Structures are given as C-alpha cells and as structure tokens.
Chain A
Amino acid sequence: MKPVALSHVLKSPIARAVLALAGMLILGSVFHADGAFFRWTTHRDMLRQLSVYGILGCGMTLVIVTGGIDLAVSSVLAACAVGFSLLTIHQEMNPWLAIALVLLGGAGMGAVSGTLVGRFKIQPFVVTLAAMVLLRGLAKHLSGGQKISTYIAASDRSVPLPDIFERIDARILGDNLAIVTVIFGVCVAASAFLLRRTRFGRYLYATGGNLEAARLSGVPVVRTLVLAYAISGFFAAVAGICQAAQEQQGDPETGMGYELSAIAIVVIGGTNLAGGRGGMGLTFVGALTIGYLQKILSINAVGESSRLMLTGAIIVCAVFLQRQS
C-alpha cells in the first residue's frame, strides 16, 4: 500500500515543495565538492545569495495570488539601487531618510502599475512589461549610464562609502547570519502575515479566484490590486537597497532577469499562476530550492551551458510535479 500513501502525501503542494527541496539537499550531499556542502558557511552564503531573489519573490507572490504578474520588479530594483546610491553617496543624505524615500518611490512605482491594472483594466503583463522598460530607462537616466560609486566623475574625486552600505552587507550572530538574510526573513514573515492573517490577504485570494465574484461580494478589487502592486514595488525597492549595499554601488544594469528568477521561485513553490491559490511558505521553500540548486552547481564549478540546461530542466520538473493536483 506504499505507493498509495506516497501519492496521498503528494496531493499537498507543501509536501511536494518540501520533497523538491529534500531532493536538492540529497543532490548536494552527493556532489559535495570536497565537503564544501557540509560546511555551515556554504549554507550561510547561499542564504545571503538567494535573499534578493527571495525578497522580490515575496512581492511577486502577492501579485500572482491576485492572478497578475509583475515583470517590473527588476527595473524597480535597479532604479532604487541607483536612487539609493545617488542620495547616500553623492548627496550625502541621512541614510535612513534616503531609505524611506527610496522605499516610498518603489511603492509609488508599483502603485502606478497597480492603478493601470485595477482602475483601467489593462492586462498586468502589458502594464508591467511597459513599466519594466520605462523604469530601466529611468535608472539609466538617473545615473547617466554610469555606475554610481564612491568615485564622482564630474569633480574627479572620491568620497568615502557611507556606513549604511557595509551595515546592510554585514553579518550578525558571530558572523553567522547576513543582515540581508534577516531582511529576507522579515519580508517573508510580513507577506505571510498579510496573506494569512489580514482582511487584505483574503481580498487578494478572492480577487485572484474570481475577480467579478469578488467585486460583486463587496471586495474593493481596485484598491486591492493597487495595494498588491504597490507592495511588490516596495519589496523590489528593499531588494534594490540590498543589491546596492552588496555591490557597494548603484548599477543601472543590475538585476536584469531577476524578475524571471522571482517568478520561478513562486511557481516552484506551487503558487498557481492563474491566481487564487498559493502562499508565502511555499515561496520560501521554492527560494531555498533554487538557491541550493545554484549553490551546488557553483561549488562544483559546473560550466555555464550545463548550468542553464540543468536549471531549466529542474524548473520544468518542479512545475510538472506541482501540476499533478
């Protein structure tokens, strides 16, 4: 009767996501690269590396639950990384004020997409595709096409790197936990709380489940959609600040293609792209799966071609597994 029991367990998306992660851990134990996989530092680094994708994935989950998609997150990330670097390095603004401004800016960018989707009923794919191009342009415009670093070309001088950059990129708990990972954890907890414990979370599921039904039963769908995209923009701004801190500069080209990684994380986690189903816990497990896959390929110094093929194949397998419901 074992096969029956197994297939019963596999009915739950959580079980399947955890199974995928367990498979990844077994893969890592087999290809451990001279024991590197068994060292805590490898896992610590992996957690830091997936944090930026993961933070984007948090906002992406909320949007995908509404049946939408946010392709603009990578450009919001770049625009915010550039904006944050300009304000703190070049303008020498108080870092906390700069962070507040950048987060507000990111949420604002998301809110514009949300308004176009909710109020004007334009397809999310189209709106955020346009926003992706537009905001990448904004990032390049703000930075003049150059990386915003401690060297200021206009006056041919260098300024010191503000403390905030190294503070965000630091580690705590005896060098065992990156601040960026903590930020990722907070984002996961916050969006899980939003989804599971608030009225707004129920509105998100209702909107994604059946927009018309939700509207007729009194769900403020426009407001819900605007807010969902605004939160996605907000998280992308958080990711942008983390990215800038880790690179110690604001690169207008940074984060290209991250929106696809974020979508992959959400989908591997088992959140339905059609909306209405899914959750944060799943996204977190999805992020770990992708993170471990990339780490295993990296420590074993696998070539680029094999890496792309393996990553693609594993995403297909994971999604295939998730579709068997």
Chain B
Amino acid sequence: MNNHPNLATFETTQTPAPRWRRRPAWTLAPLAWMALAGGALVHCKNEPPAPGGSSAQATGSAASVSAASPAAKGAAKHKGTPEDPFVVGMSQCNLGEPWRVQMNDDVRKAAEKHPNLKIVFKDAQNDSLVQRGQLEEFVNQGVDAILISPKEAAPLTEPVAKAFRTGIPVIVLDRALLKEDYTTFIGADNVKIGREAGKWVAETLGGKGTVVELKGLMTSVPGQDRHRGFIEGLDTKAHPGIKVVFEADMQWLEPNARKEMESALATQPKIDVVYAHNDPGAHGAYLAAKQVGREKSMKFVGIDALPHEGVQYVKDGILSVTFQYPTGGAEAVATTLKALAGENVPKKIVLPTRVFTRDNVAAGGQEIP
C-alpha cells in the first residue's frame, strides 16, 4: 500500500527528509520491536537463571543456560550443588493437552524438592521439527541431562540418539522411539489400561449388556491401543451377552463426544455402559445422557484420571470409574538424579495404572500391578 494517504501529505511538507524518514512512523514499528527484543535478550543473559516455567519463558531461559554453559564445562566436579545446580532440559511435545500440562507440573513439583536441579521447560507445540531443534539447542547449551516426551517416533529417534551419543543422559517419556539409543524410557501401557477398563465393564455388567465406545482419535497410537486393550478385556467371546452397540471417533474432544453420544441415545433404546477413551469424553457423554434424563441408567467409564478432571468427576458421582494414565513426572526426576550420580538405571520403566472408583477415590485410588 504505497498510496497511503499519510504518505502523500508527509512528502509534500517534508521533502528534504532522508529516504527512510519518508515513511509514516508506524512502518518503523518492526525496527522498534527488534530493538526491544534484542534488549530483552541481552538483559536475560545478565540475569540469574529464572526457574523454568511456561513455554513463553523458553527463549529467555534458553539464553541464560548458554551463559552458564562455559562454567559447566570448566568445573564439572562442582556441579550438582544448590549454588551450581544440574541443568536439565525438558522438551514437551505440546501443552495443549491438560495431561501434558500435568506432566510438566509433576516434573516441576518433583524437581522443587531438589535444589541441586534446575529444569528448563520447552514446548514443541506439536511439531516434530521444532522438537528436534530443541534437542540440538539443549546439546549446544551443554545441559546435564535431557527429558523428552516426543511427538512422534520416526522423526525423533535419530535426534535423540545424537544427543545421547554426546554423553548426555536422555530420558524418554510417554511415547517410545524406534531405537534404544537413550538412557531410559518411562511410560504407561495404553493396551493394559484399556484391558483393565474392558475387564471392569465385563465384570460390572455380569456378562450381559450394551456398551457404547467413544474412541479417541483413531489415527493416534493411544486411541488404537485403548481400543485394542478394551476389546481384549471385554472378551465378547467369553461374554456373548455383551455387545458394543455404538462406536464413534470423538477425537479426544468433549464437544464431539457429546454430539456422538446424542446420536447413540437417539438410536439405542438401552445403553448400560459408556466407555470413553478419555475423561473429557466420558464427561461429554454424561452431559448428553443427563439432558434426556438417562444418566442414572448407565455407567460412565473414563481414562486418564487427572486430579482436577477424571478423579474429580468420580468424586462428583459423574463417572463410575476412571483408570489413571500416569505422567511419570516424579519417576523422570528420580531417574535423572540417579543417572547424573552415575548409578545404573533400568532401560525401561513401565508405570502401573491406578483405578479410581466411587468407593476408593477418597483413599487415593487403588494400584493395579
């Protein structure tokens, strides 16, 4: 837009001005921005490392780590004291899902108990290439250990292996990689959790009844695993009286779950159990059933058991049961400390699930080995 009205008036009144001055003032805004951003970065380098927090802090704290890294290389022996803490980089694949926010929280809480540990959090915003870049940044900054919850296996296997080969302990959380070039994998077993849910439904129904399954995104591995495990646990061959009468993909989203449940209610006169692949899905289904006054005649089963979501729904009497998909945040910190101390750590840690029912929710659920 060269023929902006402001431009014309400016030129007629101030012709001798240098070329760059002939633009309206607001076009200089990007320059001001760059100056500000540059100032902020310089400022950050002089500051003591801020405790890692949200994704917004990622660039700021990245700068502070690079400032600290020469010291880390020079005096490796004195590392791991409250004055000179271990710096651990944590790359989370996205912070859109509450479960992942919870994982970061769990890591943060566990790390707070160890003043000799400082975690730098980064959010890869659901982009494998961004996550690869973050791994490279961590290596360049000379962090002491890396925690990563990868978005996908294939694009991240090699970057993780590369970081691991530089001698930095790498702990992989939640989603597995294709090769074992890392220190430890910590994760839960979605097939097993689905199977436990299936068994619970089969037992509760006593071998006879109708089930609605609201699936997570079926192109995602957790969705596929939670479905496969559920069908195994339900074992319709052993219980021919149990039928899955309606299934739909709700893509992990509560509004979608509610819509699909309304269709199930419209086509199915009798529903005994609704199994949703996550707690928001089960909650959406409950709201749909409640609106037509049928919520009392059916049971709702969810997965994930976040304290403020699934567990709360069980406490509120909305869900009959939810199965925890643990984040492994605390285990990750414990394993990192062990690895940094040079102790042997297992290659794979499979986290046990917990079941929360109305009877045991007050006592903190019950572990299923």
Contact = CB atoms under 8 A, between A and B. Distances in A.
Interface of A: 33-34, 36, 39, 41-42, 45, 49, 120-121, 140-141, 145-147, 149, 151, 153, 158, 169, 171, 243, 246-248, 251, 253-254, 294-295, 298-299, 301, 303-304
B98 interface: yes
B247 A301 contact: yes
B316 interface: yes
Contact of B266 (A246, A254, A294, A299): A299
Given A45-B262, A45-B266, A145-B95, A304 B249 contact: yes
A158 B312 contact: yes
A168 to B, nearest CB: 13
A301 B248 contact: yes
Interface residues of B, number: 37
A153 B259 contact: no
Contacts of A146: 98, 101, 308
B98 A254 contact: no
Contacts of A247: 254-255, 284, 287
A44 to B, nearest CB: 10
Given A146-B98, A251-B254, A49 B259 contact: yes
B254 A49 contact: no
B259 to A, nearest CB: 5
Contact of B267 (A33, A121, A140, A151): A33
Given A246-B258, A301-B246, A301-B247, A147 B309 contact: yes
Contacts of A49: 259, 262
A295 B263 contact: yes
B312 A246 contact: no
B258 A151 contact: no
A248 B263 contact: no
Contacts of B258: 246
B44 interface: no
Contacts of B287: 169, 246-248
Given A45-B263, A145-B98, A151-B312, 17 more contacts: A36-B263, A45-B262, A121-B4, A145-B54, A146-B98, A146-B308, A147-B98, A153-B308, A247-B254, A247-B255, A299-B263, A299-B266, A301-B247, A301-B263, A304-B217, A304-B218, A304-B249
B16 interface: no
A248 B288 CA distance: 12
A298 B101 contact: no
26 contacts: A33-B263, A33-B266, A33-B267, A41-B292, A45-B262, A49-B259, A121-B4, A141-B56, A145-B54, A145-B95, A147-B98, A147-B308, A158-B312, A169-B291, A171-B291, A246-B287, A247-B254, A251-B254, A253-B97, A254-B255, A295-B263, A298-B248, A298-B260, A298-B263, A303-B249, A304-B219
Shortest beta-carbon contacts, A-B, top 9: A304-B249, A298-B263, A36-B266, A299-B263, A36-B267, A45-B262, A151-B308, A145-B101, A151-B312
Interface string B82-118: 0000000000000111100100000000000000000
B268 to A, nearest CB: 9
Nearest to A147: B98
A259 to B, nearest CB: 15
A247 B309 CA distance: 13
A304 B252 CA distance: 13
Most buried by A among B54, B218, B259, B260: B259
A26 B52 CA distance: 58
Contacts of B291: 169, 171
Interface in B182-238: 217-219
Most buried by A among B246, B263, B309: B263
A121 B218 contact: no
A149 B284 CA distance: 14
A120 B4 CA distance: 9
B218 A39 contact: no
Contacts of A295: 263
B1 interface: yes
A290 to B, nearest CB: 13
A282 B98 CA distance: 39
Interface in B60-81: none
Contacts of A299: 263, 266-267
B255 A253 contact: no
Contact of A42 (B249, B254, B266, B284): B266
Contacts of A294: 259
Nearest to A35: B267
A243 B255 contact: yes
B308 A246 contact: no
Interface in B271-301: 284, 287, 291-292
Contacts of B312: 149, 151, 158
Contacts of B218: 304
B249 to A, nearest CB: 4
A311 B116 CA distance: 55
Nearest to A33: B267
A158 B316 CA distance: 10
